[in-house]
Structure 1
Amino acid sequence: MIFSFFNICSAEDVKVEFLLFKNENDKTYDLNIVFPDGLYEYYTNKNHRILEASDFSSFVTPYIFEPVADKIWELYDNEEDFVNGVLMIVHQIDYEETEPIKYPIETMVEGKGDCDLFSLIAASVVKAGGLDVVLLYYEQQAHMNIGVNLSSKPQDAREDVCYVTYENTQYYMAECTGGNWMEGWRIGECPPNLKDVSVEVISLDKVEQGVPGQASASFSSLESSTLVLEITPQICLQNTDITIRGILSPSFGNQNVTIYASVNNSPWIEIDKVITNENGFFQLLWNNEFTGIVSFRASWPGNNEYASSLSTTKTTTVVPIIAIMLFGSILLGIIGISIALVLKKSQNEEIQPEYW
């Protein structure tokens, strides 16, 4: 099958690099993180409003960092080392007081941030790694870090272990600021100015859901990939089929491509997964029950050689069936009235008397 509508261009992925250290073999690893073209822009265009402290949790984005967490787990075999690995990452980002609040991908790409932004990154990756994590907010000190529940007490803390108790669970403190990434704060350690002060625990109840894409992560450099998407028709009726098709480049077969939809700017939802053929093509026939402006994006998670990719957004306008029925009724009414007027006029002409 040949698709002539595709216009393949090189993706402009965003790449960042961090160092991780493993004590067991005294070795340093380069962790390459690649955000697919369009994902950074997606977050810069999102709402950045904070009305209350609990709103910070809506800026925690674990889904896009799942591949990053998976790579960190490849290095470390226990929860404490995993969290300390995450802290190594945020300790390498330049500290600069930043307003307004930003999403983790924005901070990573821009390469600077402050305590709350670093905490949002750390919470995102730790939660993506499957651990129970909360944000710790110190209002009087205008500071934030995170708390992580571990299955056992931290062993590598260089001082008395600090934790907070929230809903009968111990969360060990993890300080996210500090420039010395190899010898920086470890989980369980507490900066002196935060000891015995009031802290608000922010659970991650508002953590972001529905994201059209993920980062890629590797201990080697990743090549770019491209995902092109096309939607037909561009205007259709409710409960009719929409054809979603596209192509992955390089042309890998048997690859999972995830299709997302957003209705009238609502949060993105996953609607299906499709498999590419040997030429990288994929197609989905989707019966649409929504109405209004429906947007679509496709995402490929990448592999050990190529970074993940995210298509541009494509939209279609879906007209509700009731609108067509209403329009049809109005049209029939107009036609009926027109016919009645014509007939009445004809009858009047027939009975008009003639004068000689």
Structure 2
Amino acid sequence: MGYTAKFLLMAFFSIVLFMVILSCVSIVLDSADSGIESNNQPAYSGVNYSQTNNSNLNETTVNRTEAVNVSLTNNSAVNASSQSAFSTTYHSQTYTWKYDGREWSYSISIPDDAYSYYQNKSHTRGDYNQYALSDYDRKILGQLVDSFREQGIQNNYTDDEVVLNIITFIQAMPYTSDSVTTGYDEYPRYPIETLADGGGDCEDSSILAAALLSEMGYGTVLLVFPGHMALGVAGSDNLTGSYYEYKGVRYYYVETTIPGPKIGQVPPGVQSSSAKIYPMVQVPQLTANVTSTFVNADSHYAYYEIYCNITNQGPGTAQNVSAYIYAEAPPFDSTKAWTPQHDIFIGNFSEDGTGYAKATLRVPRGEQARFACVIYGDNFPSKDYYFKSFYQS
């Protein structure tokens, strides 16, 4: 073979190798240049991604305080029915209670598909406020709130009196334990489930009350005690009774499981207990799984295509979601990663939204690695997800 032919052949293989290296970064959305190194030495760096501080408190522990002054007046009521056109079959319940010296009733029909949707959602979250904040039950809960408001207008009730009526409606619901109705020792219900099931325990009625009053525009929190849960309603300094202060606002204790207790009246069993406060702030929960596919290898590296498949379990929209994808290097303590690493901005994920980020990573021959994906954003806690560690021969 002549010198010219050898030169052309070497040039051809150099171009091919250059194109292979350029193809080593592939993502669903555009990302910054990853700076792939072309030397033959194993290269790693520190794990580093541009996460903002999103450690907003989802719970706070505070002590009870007693206020003495004027309390809300007791009057109001409602008599209405509600039905949403989601499906042709429904879970129907009629609730009755006494308020303002008369009896009231409310009939509601929950579409089967809405009920099944919430039954199939996760019930394992310990931050109970999140059960009250789903985006997809707003229409049904809004209709219920509107019915109370309409009856309030007809009876010349103030907004505070409408709130008291909603509280009385919930206090009159039948108390049912989780173990009897669901077979689980602990089963926090979404508001739609509580309405369709005809009642629940203290956590269920408190979650429902928080959802309804939040929909009405009132400041509410959940008050969690050892073995008990109640509602906290924002009130001014001129109210009487027990309250728990959170971020400068007084939240007055509301018992939701039995008829009769007034706002600020704490049962003896919880009077000496501190409360964990859960504010009505959506904190979406994102989950992901990491998969890898072998692409090719050369004498120095093996190349893999990595998918990070993401789901927003809610509640609410996850804002400015990003995925940081890398091949972790020993000792697998989130401090070292083989280069390149990819910080990929994806965007917003609505509740139940799904998506993925994709990148091509390389692992030095004869080295260990573990593929990792960190999901982070503005309004939810970041979390690391891994694909099993392996030895690259």
TM-score where L is the length of structure 1: 0.49
Relative contact order (C-alpha < 8 Å, sep 6+): which is higher? 2
Q: Which one has the bigger strand percentage?
A: 2
TM-score where L is the length of structure 2: 0.45
